[in-house]
């Protein structure tokens, strides 16, 4: 159930460095259920891009199929979007990135789209370290087909009409870490303060940035027995750190108590300031992240925050040594060897 957004906006809406207001980053009216966690994630993407003063057309947004994959229509209306086929967003995003390395690619997927039908594509896009943000809007349920368990549903978790789930869930953050992802974070759609800077840091990261966002499904999976309901997540969420993203141009002003903060400088000069909530997490160590996630899981808790980052990450274009010019901008002059070269080839074939 959705309501039309009035066209009117306050004339004094704040503007960013480019002179755009948040309105310039909004999309069409959401058709998702009222209270859907996914809409909060869309709002966080809008805020993240607005705050970073990203020209809207410098973003390409891509998705697969499912409730989550519908959301790119609801944010960044001035950006090109591609709602592809089920589970195949990573391939389309990879190809798009090959064609033009200068744009920012935001891929949106869900738990069905990522952990089931698209698992193969997900793991290989991680391995390739494609420069993109991959957000999995994880609600542990198939919404559009009305409430089946997904591959991320926890053992024993009950959806609205289902039996308790009997199968081991796939932990996408652990998978990403094991596959060598260079940026892994976990968050909750209801925690905008954490999610917005995480998205900003993911955009600044050069390489594959994965954010698993637990996003309750109000219609099919917000029941008392579900481990992906608002209440459950609010009660069982544990932050590894609080995140503050500082764009390159800004002065770092955030202050933390000595010994509890870390600052990570990204390749573009921006910084992520982290307030450590759990001193055991070393965000530069995959092992530390994996161990800590396991520990929290044993306590029935979900660890959120930035879990791992490799700021020296080299994206696929760097490893392939592709030209700095977007490939799509090359013309006949650079691409076609011409008739003289062809005659030489002919000669070698006689």
Partner 1 sequence: MKREIITNLFVVKFANVNGTGSASANRLFSKAVFRMGVPVSPKNIFPSNIQGLPTWYEVRINENGFLGRRGGIDVVVGMNPQSMERDIGELERGGYFVYDSSKPLDKKMLRDDIDYIGIPFTEICRTEYTDPRQQQLFRNVMYIGSLAALLNIEFDVLTGLITDQFKGKEKLIAPNVHALELGFKYAQEHFDCPIAFRVERRDNVGNKILIDGNSACGLGAVYGGATVSAWYPITPSTSVIDAFARYCRRFRVDPETGEKNFAIVQAEDELAAIGMVIGAAWNGARAFTATSGPGVSLMTEFLGLAYFAEVPTVLIDVQRAGPSTGMPTRTQQSDVLTCAYASHGDTRHICLYPSNPKECFEFTATALDLADRLQTPVIILSDLDLGMNDNMCDPLEWDDTRTYDRGKVFTAEDLDAMEKRFGRYLDVDGDGIPYRTYPGTHPTKGSFFTRGTSKDEYAVYTEAGEKYVANMDRLLRKWDTAKKLVPAPVIRKTKQPCTIGVVYFGTSEAPTLEALYHLEDLHGISLDSLGIKALPFADEIADFIEAHDYVFVVEQNRDAQMRSLLISEFDICPDQLVSLLHYDGSPITARQIRREIRDWILRTTTTPRRRGRK
CB of 323 to partner 1, least distance (A): 4
Beta partners for residue 59, in sequence order: 104
Closest C-alpha among 236, 186, 172, 225 to residue 41: 186
CB of 338 to partner 1, least distance (A): 5
When the beta carbons of 80 and 284 are compared against partner 1, the nearer one is: 80
When the beta carbons of 193 and 344 are compared against partner 1, the nearer one is: 344
Sorted by sequence, the CB contacts under 8 Å of residue 249 that are 6+ apart come out as: none
CB of 36 to partner 1, least distance (A): 17
When the beta carbons of 24 and 310 are compared against partner 1, the nearer one is: 24
When the beta carbons of 5 and 252 are compared against partner 1, the nearer one is: 5
Say if CB 174 and CB 126 are below 8 A apart. Answer: no
When the beta carbons of 155 and 330 are compared against partner 1, the nearer one is: 330
When the beta carbons of 166 and 345 are compared against partner 1, the nearer one is: 345
CB of 305 to partner 1, least distance (A): 30
Interaction site with partner 1 (CB under 8 A)? 24, 28, 55-58, 60, 62, 72-73, 77-85, 88, 90-100, 102-103, 120-121, 123-124, 128, 316-317, 320-324, 327-328, 330-332, 334-339, 341-343, 345-346, 349-350
Say if CB 83 and CB 70 are below 8 A apart. Answer: yes
Sorted by sequence, the CB contacts under 8 Å of residue 210 that are 6+ apart come out as: 126, 134, 136, 172, 173, 176, 181, 183, 184, 185, 202
Distance CA 230, CA 164 (A): 18
CB of 63 to partner 1, least distance (A): 9
> Which single residue is written with the structure tokens 């903060």?
261
DSSP letter assigned to residue 103: S
CB of 175 to partner 1, least distance (A): 15
When the beta carbons of 28 and 167 are compared against partner 1, the nearer one is: 28
Pairing of strands 141-142, 148-149: antiparallel
Q: Which long-range contacts (CB under 8 A, 24 or more apart) does 246-255 make?
A: 246/270, 246/271, 246/272, 246/273, 247/51, 247/52, 247/200, 247/204
Sorted by sequence, the CB contacts under 8 Å of residue 154 that are 6+ apart come out as: 140, 165, 169, 227, 228
CB of 112 to partner 1, least distance (A): 16
DSSP letter assigned to residue 258: T
CB of 133 to partner 1, least distance (A): 15
Say if CB 48 and CB 196 are below 8 A apart. Answer: yes
CA atoms within 13 A on the CB side of 135: 32
When the beta carbons of 41 and 92 are compared against partner 1, the nearer one is: 92
């Amino acid at each position: 159930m959705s309501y039309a957004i009035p066209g009117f906006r306050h004339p004094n809406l704040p503007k960013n460095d480019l002179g755009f207001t948040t309105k310039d980053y909004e999309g069409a009216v959401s058709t998702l259920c009222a209270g859907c966690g996914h809409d909060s994630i869309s709002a966080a993407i809008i805020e993240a891009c607005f705050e970073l003063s990203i020209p809207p057309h410098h973003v390409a947004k891509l998705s697969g199929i499912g409730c989550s994959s519908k959301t790119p229509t609801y944010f960044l209306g001035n950006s090109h979007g591609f709602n592809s086929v089920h589970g195949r967003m990573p391939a389309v995003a990879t190809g798009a990135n090959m064609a033009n390395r200068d744009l920012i690619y935001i891929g949106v997927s869900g738990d069905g789209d990522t952990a089931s039908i698209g698992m193969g594509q997900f793991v290989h896009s991680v391995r390739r370290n494609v420069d993109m943000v991959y957000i999995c809007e994880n609600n542990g349920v198939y919404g559009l087909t009305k409430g089946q368990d997904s591959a991320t549903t926890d053992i024993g978790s009950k959806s609205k009409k289902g039996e308790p789930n009997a199968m081991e869930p796939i932990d996408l953050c652990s998978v990403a870490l094991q596959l060598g992802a260079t940026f892994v974070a976990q968050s909750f759609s209801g925690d905008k303060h954490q999610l917005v800077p995480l998205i900003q840091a993911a955009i600044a990261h050069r390489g594959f940035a994965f954010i698993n966002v637990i996003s309750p499904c109000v219609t099919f999976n917000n029941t008392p027995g579900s481990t992906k309901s608002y209440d459950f997540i609010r009660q069982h969420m544990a932050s590894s750190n609080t995140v503050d993203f500082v764009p390159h141009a800004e002065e770092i002003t955030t202050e933390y108590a000595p010994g509890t903060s870390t600052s990570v400088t990204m390749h573009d000069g921006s910084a992520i300031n982290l307030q450590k909530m759990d001193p055991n997490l070393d965000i530069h160590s995959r092992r530390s992240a994996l161990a800590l996630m396991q520990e929290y899981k044993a306590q029935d808790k979900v660890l959120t925050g930035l879990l791992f980052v490799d700021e020296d990450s080299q994206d696929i274009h760097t490893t392939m040594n592709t030209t700095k010019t977007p490939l799509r901008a090359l013309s006949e002059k650079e691409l076609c060897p011409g008739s003289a070269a062809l005659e030489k080839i002919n000669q070698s074939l006689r």
